[in-house]
Structure 1
Amino acid sequence: MILEATKPDSDAALDREFNPWLAAEARFNEAALLLGLDDGLQKVLRSPALEMTVHIPVQLDDGRLEVFTGYRVQHSLARGPAKGGIRFAPDVTLDEVKALASWMTWKCAVVNIPFGGGKGGVICDPAILSQNELERITRRYTAELIDIIGPERDVPAPDMNTNEQTMAWIMDTYSMHKRTTVTAVVTGKPLNLGGSRGRVEATGRGCLFVTLQALRKFRMDPAQTKVVVQGFGNVGGKAAKLMHKAGMKVISIIEWDGALYNSNGIDPEALMKYKQATGTVVGYPEAEAIDKHEAMFLECDVLVPAAKENVIHSGNAARIKAKILCEGANGPTTAVADKILEEKGIFVIPDILANAGGVTVSYFEWVQDRQGFFWNEQLVNGRLEEIMVNSFKDVVDYGERHKVHNRAAAYMLALDRVAFAIKLRGIYA
């Protein structure tokens, strides 16, 4: 969802600003320049290690044969196996997958877990496909990738329009080819197939932990903190629920079909039950309806964009009235908008830190699968909090030491860690 607002002057400028690969490259270039990385290392860090395009023939339920296009990109393997989700959507592009794979490299490095970045996608519309058709697409896609994925090579996970059932199909298909059950080939699986406790809420819980750290930094009382959450799915919905439980007032929730406002706070758990019963947030009786295009510009302490990319851009960034921006989604702010937010003095918790709770607990799941020993939820959440709190401090300290804003600090820290690993390993020739 891209909120309507004044857009940049030309369509070409808009296309450049909203292109995810160009946005990732702009952030990379800024961090590389600030770090003083030499040209050779920049070339290595900038280039994906592997890009694969596959064409997936699938027989549909009505007997027709259709061919779907899928991608898998491994951006870096310097610190460990590639890690990243698989999305099913009609607008998936290779540029988008490349950008998301590079973001995963930096995200894993920021929270200092031993993975590189990967990402995958299939161009399809799940809304018009049956469960059987989705299963056939998933299994054939997995079979096409069989030589490049695996617990030691590339570990997929759920993403947009994929879920634990999708991961179960991938795990089963991979296991059938390997002739043994391999639970560690994917994360985000059902608990009964080697999934981890705490995984469902992990990204939202990570957002809570870093937001609490930001509130402590500015000596803000959670009970006096007003929060606006854009997106009420797995990330935004869980973050809203957990922030509400931590005492914050969630004054507005924005969804694709409408937005709600209550100055005294909305109970996200009650709203979730309403949405499950009705299929929408529209009409919720405990809050008033407001314009979904304007709700993001409400005066608040914390804004959590947890929907899609590019919702904060050069045409609307000046209207943001939050003190803290906690990026629950991947790439919700364009590179051009970064400067505007910096000039406004908004404290940004960048996506590669803020939403890293999901990949962190995916790491825990991978570790548990490989050990064959599973942790209780209290242990999972405790270890997640430790990593998110330490990573927040690492980024903020790095930024203060180098006198740069948080996003530049996060990218510099990540590039530094990956570059260090490459230097230690050397270049095999």
Structure 2
Amino acid sequence: MERVFDIADDLGPAKVTYVHEPSVGLKAVLVIDNVALGPAIGGLRLAPDVSVEECLRLARAMTLKNSAAGLPHGGGKSVLWGDPGMPRERKEALLRCFAHALRNETDYIFAPDMGTDETCMTWIEDEIGRVVGLPSALGGIPLDEIGATGWGLLHAADVASRYAGLKLEGARVAVQGFGAVGKHAARFLATRGALLVAVSDSRGTLVSEAGI
């Protein structure tokens, strides 16, 4: 707990909430970093190796990103300890329990992140009605389907390449993590002339000097 105050500064965090429900094996943390511009938006990350410090830093990143984008929202983040590959029924029970525990925390709006997706957001929507990142069938924008984060990564790489004195066209690219973000990032980079030579995920690595 003392580590929270070591990281804290004039911007935040405004609130750190620990949630523990032994009956379903729930261990989770919510960090609301700053709400000066409005309720905090930030993803729910599900992984076995998350930490409170990671959550604090991710929440701060959301404060800065939402502000830079001109959104009327502050930054927050939540993390839940667990294997994202767990059975669907167990994942649903954990997320519903977490959402219910935060039902009165109106300064935080859930969003998908690593280990969670649009289906997960429907469970939270059903519990508390305070979420973004819903599937198109419920009026949301299918972010994973269109590759929104991968599109953002393309533009980040484009800007970074200029500072590094490189060109995306002809660049040889390796992508670590080939899920909802990585596969779309690779696709978008390829449209700019980059050559994908290596990809990896939790199950292994594929390398081809000639391109994949």
TM over 0.5: yes
Distance in structure 2 (CA, Å) of the matches to 1:263 and 1:144: 50
Cα distance in structure 2, aligned partners of 1:101 and 1:241: 29
Partner Cα distance (1:219, 1:69) in 2: 45
Please give the alpha-carbon distance, in whole angstroms, between the structure 1 residues aligned to 2:163 and 2:83. 43
Superposed CA deviations along residues 111-141 of structure 1, whole A, max 9, x for unmatched, are 33332111112223343x4322221221121
Question: 1:229: how far off?
Answer: 1.6
Counterparts of 1:199 and 1:80, CA distance in 2: 26
| Structure 2: distance between partners of 1:198 and 1:94 | 27
Residue aligned with 1:192, SS: helix
Q: 1:89 to 1:226 in 2, by over 3 A?
A: closer
Aligned to 1:193: 138
Residue 86 of structure 1 and its aligned partner are, at CA, apart by: 0.9
Is the contact made by 1:21 and 1:96 (CA closer than 8 Å) also made in structure 2? no
Instruction: Tell me which protein shows more strand as a share of its residues.
Output: 2
How far apart are residue 199 of structure 1 and its match? Answer: 5.1
Shift of 1:109: 2.7
Match for residue 44 of structure 1 among 2, 5, 10: 10
Letter in 1 for 2:134: K
Q: Is the 8 A contact 2:150 2:188 kept in 1?
A: yes
What's the CA shift string for 1:204-248, capped at 9, x where partnerless? 101112323444667755432222222211222210111112221
Larger relative contact order (Cα-Cα within 8 Å, sequence gap ≥ 6): 1
**Which residue, 122, 127, 135 being the options, matches 2:92?**
135
Q: Percent identity?
A: 34
Residue 109 (structure 2) aligned to one of 117, 136, 155: 155
User: Scaled by the length of structure 1, what TM-score is found?
Assistant: 0.44
Identify the residue that residue 115 of structure 1 maps to in structure 2: 73
**Corresponding residue number in structure 2 for 1:69:** 27
**SS, match of residue 181 in structure 2:** helix
Which residue matches 1:297? none
Match of 1:125 among 55, 63, 83: 83
User: Which is higher, the Rg of structure 1 or of structure 2?
Assistant: 1
The residue type paired with residue 203 of structure 2 is D
**Aligned with 2:35: secondary structure?**
coil
**Equivalences, count:** 209
Q: Is the 8 A contact 2:84 2:116 kept in 1?
A: no
Select which of 198, 204, 210 maps to 1:252.
198
2:39 pairs, out of 75, 78, 81, with 81
SS of residue in 2 equivalent to 1:102 = helix
Q: Is the 8 A contact 1:83 1:155 kept in 2?
A: yes
Q: 1:219 to 1:91 in 2, by over 3 A?
A: closer
2:54 is aligned to 96
Letter of the 1:156 counterpart:
F
The separation in 1 between residues aligned to 2:160 and 2:28, in whole angstroms, is 39
Quick one: distance in 2 between partners of 1:123 and 1:99? 17
Name the aligned partner's letter for residue 101 of structure 1. Answer: A
- The CA deviation at 1:197 is 4.5
Extract unaligned runs of 5+ from structure 1. Answer: 1-19, 26-41, 59-65, 176-184, 267-429
Q: Is the contact made by 1:21 and 1:99 (CA closer than 8 Å) also made in structure 2?
A: no
Residues 87, 264 of structure 1: CA spacing in aligned structure 2 closer, same or farther, 3 A cutoff? same
More helix by share: 1
Amino acid at match of 1:133: R
TM-score by length of 2: 0.85
Equivalent residue for 1:53?
A: 18
1:135 maps to a residue whose letter is E
CA RMSD in angstroms, aligned pairs only? 2.7
Pick closer, same or farther for the CA change 1:241–1:93 going to 2, 3 Å: same
Q: What SS does structure 2 have at the residue aligned with 1:75? A: strand
**2:18 is paired with a residue of what secondary structure?**
strand
User: Which residue number corresponds to residue 146 of structure 1?
Assistant: 103
Contact 1:90/1:124, CA 8 A, preserved across alignment? yes
1:98 counterpart SS class: helix
Which runs of structure 2 are paired with 1:332-371 in the superposition (5 Å)? none
* Residue from 146, 149, 170 that aligns with 1:203: 149
Other-structure match for 1:228? 174
Counterpart of 2:88, as a letter, is Q
Matching residue within 119, 125, 129 for 1:171: 125
Q: Is the 1:56–1:70 Cα contact (8 Å) retained in structure 2? A: no
2:185 matched to 1:239? Answer: yes
CA distance in 2, matches of 1:220, 1:54: 46
Unaligned runs of 5+ in 2: none
Alpha-carbon separation, structure 2, partners of 1:126 and 1:209: 28
Q: Distance in 1 between matches of 2:57 and 2:119?
A: 26
- Amino acid of the residue matched to residue 169 of structure 1? W
